[in-house]
Protein backbone atom coordinates (compact mmCIF):
# COMPACT_ATOMS: atom_id res chain seq x y z
CA UNK A 1 0.00 0.00 0.00
CA UNK A 2 1.39 3.41 -1.00
CA UNK A 3 1.49 5.45 2.21
CA UNK A 4 2.11 9.16 1.81
CA UNK A 5 5.42 10.43 3.21
CA UNK A 6 5.14 12.09 6.60
CA UNK A 7 4.95 15.88 6.57
CA UNK A 8 8.49 17.32 6.98
CA UNK A 9 7.46 19.20 10.13
CA UNK A 10 4.84 16.82 11.45
CA UNK A 11 5.39 17.81 15.09
CA UNK A 12 4.52 21.44 14.32
CA UNK A 13 1.62 20.30 12.17
CA UNK A 14 0.16 18.17 14.96
CA UNK A 15 0.68 20.95 17.51
CA UNK A 16 -1.19 23.34 15.24
CA UNK A 17 -4.02 20.85 14.79
CA UNK A 18 -4.43 20.36 18.53
CA UNK A 19 -4.38 24.09 19.17
CA UNK A 20 -7.80 24.31 17.49
CA UNK A 21 -9.26 21.77 19.96
CA UNK A 22 -11.49 20.30 17.26
CA UNK A 23 -10.54 16.62 17.42
CA UNK A 24 -13.26 14.35 18.84
CA UNK A 25 -15.77 17.18 19.16
CA UNK A 26 -19.45 16.53 18.48
CA UNK A 27 -20.94 16.99 15.00
CA UNK A 28 -22.01 20.57 14.32
CA UNK A 29 -24.52 21.79 11.76
CA UNK A 30 -22.29 24.56 10.41
CA UNK A 31 -19.64 22.02 9.38
CA UNK A 32 -22.20 19.47 8.18
CA UNK A 33 -23.77 22.11 5.94
CA UNK A 34 -20.42 22.82 4.29
CA UNK A 35 -19.81 19.12 3.68
CA UNK A 36 -23.32 18.65 2.27
CA UNK A 37 -22.82 21.64 -0.03
CA UNK A 38 -19.47 20.33 -1.26
CA UNK A 39 -21.00 16.95 -2.07
CA UNK A 40 -24.01 18.47 -3.81
CA UNK A 41 -22.02 20.91 -5.97
CA UNK A 42 -19.47 18.26 -6.92
CA UNK A 43 -22.25 15.70 -7.52
CA UNK A 44 -20.58 13.18 -5.20
CA UNK A 45 -22.31 10.84 -2.72
CA UNK A 46 -19.68 11.27 0.01
CA UNK A 47 -18.16 14.45 1.43
CA UNK A 48 -15.83 14.64 4.42
CA UNK A 49 -14.18 17.24 6.59
CA UNK A 50 -11.20 15.25 7.76
CA UNK A 51 -8.31 15.97 10.10
CA UNK A 52 -5.15 13.88 10.13
CA UNK A 53 -3.96 13.06 13.63
CA UNK A 54 -0.75 11.22 14.56
CA UNK A 55 -2.22 7.75 14.02
CA UNK A 56 -5.65 8.22 12.49
CA UNK A 57 -7.82 10.28 10.17
CA UNK A 58 -10.82 11.74 12.02
CA UNK A 59 -13.94 13.23 10.43
CA UNK A 60 -15.52 16.36 11.85
CA UNK A 61 -18.27 15.89 9.30
CA UNK A 62 -19.08 12.85 7.19
CA UNK A 63 -21.95 12.74 4.71
CA UNK A 64 -22.68 9.52 2.85
CA UNK A 65 -20.82 7.20 5.21
CA UNK A 66 -21.27 6.22 8.84
CA UNK A 67 -17.62 6.12 9.91
CA UNK A 68 -16.08 8.87 12.04
CA UNK A 69 -12.43 7.91 11.52
CA UNK A 70 -10.05 5.63 9.63
CA UNK A 71 -6.50 4.46 10.08
CA UNK A 72 -3.75 6.35 8.27
CA UNK A 73 -3.25 3.32 6.02
CA UNK A 74 -6.72 4.06 4.61
CA UNK A 75 -6.19 7.81 4.34
CA UNK A 76 -6.13 9.38 0.90
CA UNK A 77 -6.04 12.87 2.38
CA UNK A 78 -2.43 12.50 3.53
CA UNK A 79 -1.42 12.38 -0.14
CA UNK A 80 -3.08 15.77 -0.62
CA UNK A 81 -0.61 17.28 1.86
CA UNK A 82 2.16 16.92 -0.71
CA UNK A 83 0.70 19.52 -3.06
CA UNK A 84 -0.40 23.14 -2.85
CA UNK A 85 -3.61 22.72 -4.83
CA UNK A 86 -6.51 20.29 -4.89
CA UNK A 87 -5.59 16.63 -5.17
CA UNK A 88 -7.87 15.00 -7.72
CA UNK A 89 -7.66 11.29 -8.51
CA UNK A 90 -9.89 10.57 -11.46
CA UNK A 91 -9.73 6.78 -10.99
CA UNK A 92 -8.34 5.35 -7.76
CA UNK A 93 -7.84 1.97 -9.45
CA UNK A 94 -5.51 3.60 -11.95
CA UNK A 95 -3.34 5.43 -9.43
CA UNK A 96 -0.48 3.75 -7.50
CA UNK A 97 -1.29 5.79 -4.38
CA UNK A 98 -4.77 4.33 -4.02
CA UNK A 99 -4.98 1.15 -6.10
CA UNK A 100 -4.72 -1.10 -3.04
CA UNK A 101 -6.28 1.24 -0.47
CA UNK A 102 -9.00 -0.72 1.38
CA UNK A 103 -11.42 2.18 0.86
CA UNK A 104 -10.94 1.93 -2.89
CA UNK A 105 -11.12 -1.81 -3.51
CA UNK A 106 -14.10 -4.08 -3.98
CA UNK A 107 -17.50 -3.43 -5.51
CA UNK A 108 -18.30 -0.64 -3.04
CA UNK A 109 -14.85 0.93 -3.13
CA UNK A 110 -14.35 4.58 -3.98
CA UNK A 111 -13.17 5.19 -7.53
CA UNK A 112 -12.91 8.99 -7.38
CA UNK A 113 -11.33 11.38 -4.88
CA UNK A 114 -10.84 15.15 -4.74
CA UNK A 115 -9.64 17.03 -1.67
CA UNK A 116 -8.81 20.65 -0.86
CA UNK A 117 -6.26 20.97 1.94
CA UNK A 118 -7.22 22.72 5.17
CA UNK A 119 -4.13 24.80 5.93
CA UNK A 120 -3.13 27.22 8.66
CA UNK A 121 -1.90 30.70 7.81
CA UNK A 122 1.61 29.26 8.16
CA UNK A 123 0.87 26.68 5.49
CA UNK A 124 0.66 23.68 7.82
CA UNK A 125 -1.84 21.09 6.54
CA UNK A 126 -4.38 19.88 9.08
CA UNK A 127 -6.76 17.87 6.92
CA UNK A 128 -8.99 18.23 3.88
CA UNK A 129 -12.44 18.97 2.63
CA UNK A 130 -12.88 16.06 0.24
CA UNK A 131 -15.48 14.41 -1.94
CA UNK A 132 -15.55 10.80 -3.07
CA UNK A 133 -17.51 8.85 -5.67
CA UNK A 134 -17.91 5.22 -6.67
CA UNK A 135 -17.12 5.71 -10.32
CA UNK A 136 -14.30 7.51 -12.14
CA UNK A 137 -14.99 11.21 -12.65
CA UNK A 138 -13.49 14.65 -13.21
CA UNK A 139 -14.37 17.94 -11.52
CA UNK A 140 -15.22 21.03 -13.51
CA UNK A 141 -13.22 24.23 -12.86
CA UNK A 142 -16.23 25.63 -10.97
CA UNK A 143 -16.38 22.55 -8.74
CA UNK A 144 -12.65 22.80 -7.99
CA UNK A 145 -13.00 26.51 -7.16
CA UNK A 146 -15.95 25.71 -4.90
CA UNK A 147 -13.89 23.18 -2.93
CA UNK A 148 -11.16 25.79 -2.46
CA UNK A 149 -13.60 28.43 -1.24
CA UNK A 150 -15.40 26.04 1.13
CA UNK A 151 -12.08 24.81 2.54
CA UNK A 152 -11.10 28.43 3.21
CA UNK A 153 -14.44 28.97 4.96
CA UNK A 154 -13.79 26.00 7.24
CA UNK A 155 -10.41 27.41 8.25
CA UNK A 156 -11.93 30.87 8.79
CA UNK A 157 -14.49 29.39 11.19
CA UNK A 158 -11.80 27.49 13.04
CA UNK A 159 -9.60 30.57 13.33
CA UNK A 160 -12.52 32.63 14.66
CA UNK A 161 -13.35 30.04 17.32
CA UNK A 162 -9.71 29.82 18.32
CA UNK A 163 -9.50 33.62 18.64
CA UNK A 164 -12.70 33.75 20.71
CA UNK A 165 -11.42 31.02 23.03
CA UNK A 166 -8.14 32.91 23.46
CA UNK A 167 -10.00 36.15 24.19
CA UNK A 168 -12.12 34.37 26.80
CA UNK A 169 -9.00 32.96 28.44
CA UNK A 170 -7.44 36.44 28.57
CA UNK A 171 -10.64 37.91 30.03
CA UNK A 172 -10.64 35.34 32.81
CA UNK A 173 -6.97 36.03 33.50
CA UNK A 174 -7.64 39.78 33.73
CA UNK A 175 -10.61 39.15 36.04
CA UNK A 176 -8.45 36.99 38.28
CA UNK A 177 -5.72 39.62 38.47
CA UNK A 178 -8.15 42.44 39.19
CA UNK A 179 -9.76 40.45 41.99
CA UNK A 180 -6.39 39.64 43.51
CA UNK A 181 -5.27 43.26 43.29
CA UNK A 182 -8.45 44.55 44.95
CA UNK A 183 -8.20 41.93 47.69
CA UNK A 184 -4.56 42.80 48.34
CA UNK A 185 -5.36 46.51 48.44
CA UNK A 186 -8.30 45.92 50.78
CA UNK A 187 -6.08 43.90 53.12
CA UNK A 188 -3.48 46.66 53.23
CA UNK A 189 -6.12 49.28 53.99
CA UNK A 190 -7.63 47.18 56.80
CA UNK A 191 -4.19 46.66 58.29
CA UNK A 192 -3.43 50.36 58.09
CA UNK A 193 -6.80 51.19 59.70
CA UNK A 194 -6.08 48.93 62.67
CA UNK A 195 -2.75 50.66 63.21
CA UNK A 196 -4.08 54.21 62.74
CA UNK A 197 -3.42 56.43 65.78
CA UNK A 198 -5.64 59.32 64.80
CA UNK A 199 -9.40 59.34 64.28
CA UNK A 200 -9.15 61.35 61.06
CA UNK A 201 -6.75 58.77 59.58
CA UNK A 202 -9.02 55.90 60.59
CA UNK A 203 -12.04 57.62 59.06
CA UNK A 204 -10.19 58.29 55.81
CA UNK A 205 -9.07 54.67 55.62
CA UNK A 206 -12.62 53.50 56.34
CA UNK A 207 -13.89 55.65 53.47
CA UNK A 208 -11.19 54.22 51.22
CA UNK A 209 -12.18 50.70 52.26
CA UNK A 210 -15.79 51.38 51.33
CA UNK A 211 -14.76 52.63 47.91
CA UNK A 212 -12.56 49.59 47.30
CA UNK A 213 -15.47 47.33 48.25
CA UNK A 214 -17.72 49.26 45.86
CA UNK A 215 -15.22 48.85 43.02
CA UNK A 216 -14.96 45.11 43.78
CA UNK A 217 -18.75 44.73 43.68
CA UNK A 218 -18.97 46.70 40.44
CA UNK A 219 -16.28 44.56 38.85
CA UNK A 220 -18.12 41.41 39.94
CA UNK A 221 -21.41 42.63 38.49
CA UNK A 222 -19.79 43.66 35.20
CA UNK A 223 -18.09 40.28 34.88
CA UNK A 224 -21.33 38.42 35.55
CA UNK A 225 -23.40 40.56 33.17
CA UNK A 226 -20.85 39.87 30.42
CA UNK A 227 -21.43 36.15 30.73
CA UNK A 228 -18.32 35.43 32.72
CA UNK A 229 -20.17 33.06 35.06
Average pLDDT over the chain, rounded to an integer: 87
Q: What is the pLDDT of residue 89?
A: 97
Q: What is the pLDDT of residue 221?
A: 73
Q: What is the pLDDT of residue 6?
A: 84
Separation of alpha carbons 105 and 73, rounded Å: 13
Q: What is the pLDDT of residue 53?
A: 96
Q: What is the pLDDT of residue 186?
A: 76
Quick: pLDDT tens for 76-99: 999 998 887 899 999 999 999 999
Instruction: Look at 85 and 26; give whichever has higher pLDDT.
Output: 26
Q: pTM to 2 decimals?
A: 0.75
Exposure b/e, 27-54, CB count within 10 A at least 16 = b:
eeeebbebbeebbebbebebbbbbbbbe
Percent of the chain having pLDDT more than 90? 62
Res. 116: pLDDT tops 60: yes
Instruction: Look at 127 and 206; give whichever has higher pLDDT.
Output: 127
Separation of alpha carbons 71 and 26, rounded Å: 20
Res. 45: pLDDT tops 50: yes
Assess contact for 94 and 68: CB atoms under 8 A.
no
Percent of the chain having pLDDT more than 70? 92
Separation of alpha carbons 88 and 18, rounded Å: 27
Give the mean pLDDT of 156-171.
82
Confidence of residue 100 (pLDDT cuts 50, 70, 90): very high
Q: What is the pLDDT of residue 2?
A: 62
Res. 229: pLDDT tops 60: no
Q: What is the pLDDT of residue 219?
A: 67
Assess contact for 138 and 171: CB atoms under 8 A.
no
Separation of alpha carbons 102 and 75, rounded Å: 9
Amino acid sequence: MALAPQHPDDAARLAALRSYEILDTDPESEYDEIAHLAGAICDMPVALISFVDADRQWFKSATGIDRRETSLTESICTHAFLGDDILEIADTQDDPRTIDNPLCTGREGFRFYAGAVLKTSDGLPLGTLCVLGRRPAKLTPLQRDTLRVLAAQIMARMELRKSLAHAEMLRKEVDHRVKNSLQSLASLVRLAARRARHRETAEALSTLQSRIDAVARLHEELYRSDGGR
